[in-house]
Homo-oligomer: A and B are copies of this chain.
């Protein structure tokens, strides 16, 4: 994975992009100066940092020290080992309550969270299908990440039929990153007692007219649960998430994809690209070398 290797050993200060944050963002950095005895010069930290090569972190902000000896690229701490990973792990296991053998659908499956959800689901023993916006992404999901199937939603004239084709036995769990028509199609294909975890709503970020109007009769008769969640509510599984994910990464059972651009000047295009599906995996801006 190109993006992954390009970041190894060189990032001192990477900032992850997420649409909700206008000023601060989740990033990794090295302490240059500190008033607090528990953060010393040279310590590696992850937390809410401002966009830029240097950042002043005030008392009370989210900031954690990193273990410099994990052997993972620093970028992992804003992605697979950071909030993206926690969102994927906690959202899947805690919100979806999946069982081995269940049929799992993930939209935006090549995105920062989706590509992890699909792999966690495979590790549990589920049948996993992802949707993505290009043939390249679809191939990647199937050939590199072990998804059972995947489809390019832009090539489908009818999403309900696409899901019917991929899930002849119906969907038990839908990890929803997009909302809109895809959510409607997933509900239409769900089995009784199906669960939808609503993690993101890409369709509404870019076009408010595409709001999902799922068939409520399906929701009643199939006893479907639709549940929104945020990673901040999942801190109770943080320790479990971290130990399992480190174990999977070290054992080669989990792959992460990163899409790293360089320099503060790349921030606007990186940010806009998120809404156009330009990224593959976690979008990261590397604003400074060590």
Which residue numbers of A lie inside 8 Å of B, CB to CB? 179, 183, 198-201, 204, 211-230, 233
Contact = CB atoms under 8 A, between A and B. Distances in A.
A199 B220 contact: yes
A198 B227 contact: no
23 contacts: A179-B216, A183-B216, A198-B219, A200-B220, A201-B216, A201-B217, A201-B220, A204-B217, A211-B213, A211-B216, A212-B213, A212-B214, A218-B228, A219-B226, A220-B228, A220-B230, A221-B230, A223-B229, A223-B230, A224-B228, A225-B225, A225-B227, A226-B227
A213 B230 CA distance: 21
A228 to B, nearest CB: 4
A107 B38 CA distance: 54
Nearest to A196: B226
Contacts of A213: 211-213
Nearest to A20: B221
Contacts of A211: 213-216
